[in-house]
Amino acid sequence: MKKNVVKSIVAIGIGAALFFVLGRFVAIPSPVPNTNISTQYGLLAFLACVYGPVVGALAGLIGHALIDFSYGWGIWWSWVIASAVFGLLVGLFSLKKKTVASLNISQVIAHAIAWIGVAPVLDIVMYAEPVDKIFLQGAVAAVANIVTTAIIATLLLLAYNATKPKAGSLKKEK
């Protein structure tokens, strides 16, 4: 087996653990009462950008499924899959370019597809909920996630890039 496979497996496991902890315990109060801001998508976008689409998709899938399990309200498969799709898309878009700009463009597209396209499906199929309510919820989620991802994923990527110094670029100043 190629060596990258094991690293990807570990990245999925640790990525899912981070996703879980951020999604489950890191509550940043938002201006809307009773809703918290999900920081985990900023993390997922960053991981997908660094480790690729497979890690992005599976870390999102496992992390989100574990969150649902821990709340005990049943697994909301379509939302779980939407997290996976988001990780997958950002990973795919980032295969060639890993810049702040490309990451942000891809996260906007991926969030739109995931929350307005994928996530509502099960609510419609399973609960036969009104379509306009579902899409409005999806749109609100997409916008909120785009804003948080833009800040968090960008800062993470900048910090990560800075850990790889360019040789010969540093001089002591007097």
Partner 1 sequence: MIKFEHFSFKYTAQADYTLRDINLTINDGEKVLIIGPSGCGKSTLLNCINGLVPFSYDGTIEGSLTVDGKETKDLSIFELSKIVGTVLQDSDAQFVGLTVAEDIAFALENDCIPTEELKRRVKEIAKLVNIESHLEHAPTDISGGQKQRVSLAGVMIDDVKVLLFDEPLANLDPETGKTAIELIDSIHKDTGVTEIIIEHRLEDVLWRDVDRIVLMGDGKIVLDTTPDELLSSDALIKHGIREPLYITALKYAGVEITPSMLPHSIDTITLTDEDIAKVKEWYLKTETEKEEEKEVLLQVRDIDFTYKNDRNGASVHHALDHISFDVMKGELLAIVGRNGAGKSTFSKALCGFERIDSGKFIFKGEDMAPLSIKERADRIGYVMQNPNQMISKVQIFDEVALGLRTRNVPEDEVERRVNDTLKICGLWEFRNWPVSALSYGQKKRVTIASILVLEPEMIILDEPTAGQDYYHYTEIMNFLEEINSRGVTIVLITHDMHLMLEYATRGIVFADSKVIKDSTSYDILTDRDVISRASLKETSLYNLALKCGLNDTKGFVEHFISFERRVRND
Partner 2 sequence: MTNIFNYIDRKSPIHNLTGATKFVCLLLWSFAAMVTFDTKILALLPVVSFILFGLSKIKLKDISFLLVFTLVFMVMNNVLVFLFSPMHGTELYGSCTEICKLWGNNYLTVEQLWYHLNLVLKYFSTMPIVILFISTTEPSEFAASLNKIGVKYTIAYAVSLALRYIPDVQREYHEISLAQQARGIEMSSKENIVKRLKSASAILIPLVLQSLERIDVITNAMELRGFGKNRKRTWYRSRKFTKADIISMIFCGALLLLSIGMNIYNGSRFWMPHF
CA distance 63 to 84: 9
CA distance 87 to 44: 6
CA distance 49 to 93: 8
The token pair at 108 is: 């906007």
Q: Which is nearer to partner 2, 100 or 168 (CB)?
A: 100
Among 95, 105, 140, 151, binds partner 2 (CB under 8 A): 151
Q: Which is nearer to partner 2, 128 or 170 (CB)?
A: 128
Contact partner, 21, from partner 1, partner 2, none, Cβ < 5-8 Å per class: partner 2
CA distance 127 to 83: 20
Report the nearest approach of partner 1 to the CB of residue 158 (Å). 6
Site for partner 2 contains 36 (CB under 8 A): no
List beta partners, residue 37.
Answer: 28
How many residues interact with partner 2 (rule CB under 8 A)? 61
Site for partner 2 contains 69 (CB under 8 A): yes
CA distance 107 to 100: 11
The token pair at 126 is: 């399973």
Amino acid at 137: Q
Site for partner 2 contains 32 (CB under 8 A): no
* 8 A C-beta contact, residue 106 and residue 89: yes
Contact partner, 130, from partner 2, partner 1, none, Cβ < 5-8 Å per class: partner 2
CA distance 30 to 141: 12
39-98 residues in contact with partner 1 (CB under 8 A) are none
Residues in contact with partner 1 by the rule CB under 8 A: 3, 158-159, 162-165, 170, 172-174
Residues in contact with partner 2 by the rule CB under 8 A: 1, 3, 5-7, 9-14, 16-18, 20-22, 24-26, 28-31, 37, 39, 42-43, 46, 50, 58, 62-63, 66, 69-75, 77, 122, 125-130, 132-133, 136, 147-148, 151-152, 155-156, 159-160, 163
